[in-house]
Structure 1
Amino acid sequence: MSDNGLGDIRKDFRILSTGLKYFDNAATSLTPDQVMEAMDNYYATFRANVGRGVYRSTRIASEAYEAAHRKVAQFVDASNDVLVFTKNCTEAIGMVINGLRWRKGDKVIITMLEHHSNYAPWIRARKVFGFDLEVVRVGSNGIITGELEKALDDRTRIVSFSHVSNVLGSIAPLEEICKLAHSHGAFVLVDASQSVPHMPMRSTKESYDFMAFSGHKMLGPTGIGALVIRRGLEDEIDPLSVGGGAVKDVSLDEYELAEGWERFEAGTPNIAGAIGLARAAEYLDGIGMQRVRSHEEKLLEEMMSMLSGIEGIKIYGPNDMRVKSGIVSFSVDGLSPHIIASLLDSEYGIAVRSGHMCCYPLMKYVLGKPEGLIRASVYI
């Protein structure tokens, strides 16, 4: 398959020297040496906690951690907003769900496309907080706009959806959905785990209110993600926890929260992870996100063309490359997806995902594939 001029970066990924042919980037990406070196440098030269001292190494660590916030925020075009580091996208979504102050009669809208991380927590929260939950059906191509518009009303408190489906690769019209939701006074929470790593992100006045994504899908380390909160909405959600680093002052029976991202990051954070994620953002910026997107589109076209020419293979999701990311899910007549994935690995050294991909509702009720599919996903 073509490399669109990016072949020279393969040397940065030492794991590829093992002969691995990696097509599971939607699950987690590989990590370049530059990211690992940035994290090693923290541990080797200025290992200290952040915001908790005046000696040299803690000052250097604190500056690096604050710089990581700025770099990652800039990468997702959120420099004017509040970027909070989290454990992963799942935790970021949970911060919004459990931090909002719910009112009687509130309604939440999600879709059948959602990853379990943006589905199951809403079901649990409905039982705890008592809001109404409406799940919008989608077609097998992943288009959600029409049914979503019908579901919206003035009771809707928040719409939560995936920008890019991790199964179908379908790209939702982010700005259009945000505009529809805002016309009813609703917040928008976007699961951007599959979009932030793969395409330029542009923030507009008709953009999301909250955006969640993971670092490990964008060349960064595991155990680090982020929640972007639109500036001015910090007071709309309460922190999940309160403690060291998150407070400005504490009296005998009261406490005052810190400002900005600090109020949401109680306790010692994943300092090395944040530094690694920032380096991953710099690495991707060095390539250029439009170049990343163009590269993936070319690989996607080649992969779709190859697979569609094989008898017995059915491809799921949109055919229009303009609304599809570098994800191709398919089935093979008469064969289990796990059998296919095992054969590709054992015989050819090719790593693909198989199964339900943490999307049981989509698999069972929309695609009619409770046993799941095979998914090949590309990256740089």
Structure 2
Amino acid sequence: MTYDGLDVEKIRKDFPVFSRELPDGRPLVYLDSGNSSQKPNQVIDTMREHLAFHYSNVGRAMHLLGAESTDAYEGARDKVAGFIRAPSRDEVVFTKNASEALNLVAYSFGNPAVTDPRFTLGPGDEIVISEMEHHSNIVPWQLLVQRTGATLKWFGVTGDGRLDYDPGVITERTKIVSIAHQSNVLGTVNPVAEVAARAHEMGALVLLDASQSVPHHPVDVSRLGADLVAFTGHKMVGPSGIGVLWGRAEVLDAMPPFLGGGEMIEAVWMDRSTYAPVPHKFEAGTPPIVEAVGLGAAVDYLTGVGMESIEAHERTLTAHALDALREVPGLRLIGPDTIEERGGTLSFTLEGIHPHDVGQILDDHFGVAVRVGHHCARPLHLRFGIPATTRASFYLYNTTGEIDALVRGLHHVQKVFA
């Protein structure tokens, strides 16, 4: 199976989960990578080897294991920086996930420890998000406006699942614009450059939730137009428990520490402390060492396959899925119905059938794993007047045959409820 130069059959052999059989001998059809991707042997083996032979705490021990562990941890930072084309490795901050990265940024605004006017926040100031955001890019801002009295504003979503971009939403009172690079429900890729240009014109900072884009597309943070970018490891064939915040060096320098403790300090007295330079200023305590090493291995794996090839492969899968799902009676796609400016995430409803029932039958009878619910994007579902959707999301190891299996399963679901 070769798609757009991608040898998917070879790739699938790298992922041990695809060698297992489900009950009744059914193969696993995993269409839930938008939630969390599967892991290749190369990542699993690298993490196991580090735990078995090289593990020690980082940055502290003056012995061989400490040096090896520190080198592996900092080497992972180098790999991530190269992967996203960061101008400097010191602009890469390790967090436990994208949610923590987004909260880290939100914590900086309205903080009395910050004197930089870009981060001062109070009544009359504004934060702009969008109606398609994951809860991780909504709730931290809601908490922030509760603390500061600032105003939360948002872009709407059009009927076809595109950002309803009105530049007038961003004003001279806007301090930060924080939006998804790619929607985890709609698959929509947002016009980041246009939004960022307007935000910067008004003096605002721009934060992107890139959890759904970095794993699937070549991303160059220095060209996106954003000041800060958050993403997570477990969606890009890496482990859970590790995420990344990239930020322009001068922006990170201006931000206060998010957590206090070991390793994030320069010097400590009983009445005050000074802080280590970025990125260590934001990495208090023992970090997720093995997880970072695993993320580095994931970056190596994706780089070896080629992000351009992965993007092209997913484009082929998405085009096939859009065509195939049109043949399912009563199916309503929530999101763009064309391939332009969208990724390989398709959410839909079946008339008269609850998504939970759809997902259960697909799993029980066809071994097709999809996601059901509001996908941590309840306001978006409210906008479309629905409580939940069924979501199929694709990655480098999926095939058009698996999409056909999904469609056969959906026809069966309709027969069950006929």
Q: Normalising by the residue count of structure 1, what TM-score does the alignment of the two structures yield?
A: 0.96
**Aligned counterpart for 1:368 among listed residues 379, 385, 389:** 385
C-alpha spacing 1:243/1:225, structure 2 compared with 1 (3 Å): same
**Aligned counterpart for 2:30 among listed residues 22, 31, 40:** 22
- In the TM superposition, what is the alpha-carbon distance from 1:240 to its structure 2 partner? 1.3
* Residue of structure 2 equivalent to 1:199: 217
Structure 1: tracts of 5 or more residues without a match: none
* Residue of structure 2 equivalent to 1:378: 394
Measure the CA separation in 2 of the matches of 1:249 and 1:204: 32
C-alpha spacing 1:206/1:314, structure 2 compared with 1 (3 Å): closer
Q: Give the 5 Å matches for 1:29-68.
A: 29-68=37-76
What root-mean-square deviation, in Å, do the aligned CA atoms of Structure 1 and Structure 2 show?
A: 1.4
Q: Residue type matched to 1:379 in 2?
A: Y
Q: Give the 5 Å matches for 1:1-380.
A: 3-4=3-4, 5-18=7-20, 19-80=27-88, 82-100=91-109, 101=111, 102-104=120-122, 105-144=124-163, 146-147=165-166, 149-204=167-222, 207-364=225-382, 366-370=383-387, 372-380=388-396
String of CA shifts for 1:338-378, please: whole Å, max 9, x gaps: 111111000000000111111110101x21112x1111000
- In the TM superposition, what is the alpha-carbon distance from 1:136 to its structure 2 partner? 1.9
- In the TM superposition, what is the alpha-carbon distance from 1:333 to its structure 2 partner? 1.0
Q: Normalising by the residue count of structure 2, what TM-score does the alignment of the two structures yield?
A: 0.88
- In the TM superposition, what is the alpha-carbon distance from 1:253 to its structure 2 partner? 2.3
C-alpha spacing 1:34/1:206, structure 2 compared with 1 (3 Å): closer
- In the TM superposition, what is the alpha-carbon distance from 1:297 to its structure 2 partner? 0.4
* Residue of structure 1 equivalent to 2:405: none
- In the TM superposition, what is the alpha-carbon distance from 1:10 to its structure 2 partner? 0.6
User: SS of the counterpart of 1:232?
Assistant: helix
Q: More displaced, 268-277 or 6-15?
A: 6-15
Q: Residue type matched to 2:326 in 1?
A: S
Contact 1:192 1:211 in 2 (8 A): yes
Measure the CA separation in 2 of the matches of 1:187 and 1:325: 25
- In the TM superposition, what is the alpha-carbon distance from 1:236 to its structure 2 partner? 2.6
Aligned residue pairs, count: 377
Contact 2:264 2:282 in 1 (8 A): yes
String of CA shifts for 1:15-58, please: whole Å, max 9, x gaps: 11122110001000000010011111111111100000110000
Q: More displaced, 61-70 or 133-142?
A: 133-142
Q: Residue type matched to 1:376 in 2?
A: A
User: SS of the counterpart of 2:121?
Assistant: coil
Measure the CA separation in 2 of the matches of 1:59 and 1:373: 48
Structure 2: tracts of 5 or more residues without a match: 21-26, 112-119, 397-418
Measure the CA separation in 2 of the matches of 1:146 and 1:42: 47
String of CA shifts for 1:213-237, please: whole Å, max 9, x gaps: 1100000001110111111112332
